[in-house]
Chains A and B, each alone.
Chain A
Amino acid sequence: EAQVTQNPRYLITVTGKKLTVTCSQNMNHEYMSWYRQDPGLGLRQIYYSMNVEVTDKGDVPEGYKVSRKEKRNFPLILESPSPNQTSLYFCASSRQGDYNEQFFGPGTRLTVL
């Protein structure tokens, strides 16, 4: 089954404790990205990757890191989480080119105390 998976689905942590949210897709997509969803602000892009070893900032990159060492994986790293990073996070992937329908993972609900 074609899908984007994220882990963990739920996470409660404390300020300053480094964490990683994993994202994996099995569709051989070149493009992957991370979004956060907050009430009243909607979905905003954090980082994106056009292909292996090619990453760039989205609209709200502060406090986050990413890496793209393999085509299928695109982890999101919070080196020192803060309460304002409490949010619902989504990973997405798509092909490059004209027909770039984007597929989303199930989401990771993060709470930083």
Chain B
Amino acid sequence: KQEVTQIPAALSVPEGENLVLNCSFTDSAIYNLQWFRQDPGKGLTSLLLIQSSQREQTSGRLNASLDKSSGRSTLYIAASQPGDSATYLCAVIGGSNYKLTFGKGTLLTVNP
């Protein structure tokens, strides 16, 4: 059974800092890995999708990497801003049912 772990569970940083969020998964037989952002009580916004054949994806200040063989992904956020404060969720897509298996998320707070 696939398990996804995100470390740290919570992170508080000053504005302007670069930061890294970590995600690990137990079964490397995945199609893709997707990073989401969730604001309190709101829906999930897709940030980046990394296909299993790719090593990284970039979107603006975000860069996500994938090391499928070791079961790890990182989300790098450059020059953090207070508007980046949210919960960041990592999910792997795998199996015959294309199911997303989510981590519990990292709650990020960027202080002005």
Question: Interface on A for B, CB 8 Å cutoff?
Answer: 31, 33, 35, 40, 42-43, 45, 48, 50, 56, 58-59, 88, 90, 92, 94, 96, 98-107, 109
Contact = CB atoms under 8 A, between A and B. Distances in A.
25 contacts: A31-B98, A35-B100, A42-B104, A43-B91, A43-B100, A43-B102, A45-B100, A48-B99, A58-B97, A59-B99, A88-B41, A98-B31, A99-B32, A99-B51, A101-B32, A101-B49, A102-B34, A102-B46, A102-B93, A103-B46, A104-B43, A104-B44, A104-B45, A104-B46, A106-B42
A98 B51 contact: yes
Chain B contact residues, majority secondary structure: strand
Contacts of A103: 46
Range class of the B interface residue count: 20 to 34
Nearest to A45: B99
Contacts of B34: 101-102
B105 A42 contact: yes
B21 interface: no
B47 to A, nearest CB: 10
Contacts of B89: 43
Contacts of A33: 99-100
Given A100-B31, A101-B34, A94 B97 contact: no
Given A98-B51, A103-B46, A105-B43, 11 more contacts: A33-B100, A45-B99, A50-B97, A50-B98, A88-B41, A90-B44, A98-B32, A100-B31, A100-B32, A101-B32, A102-B91
Interface string B66-92: 000000000000000000000001010
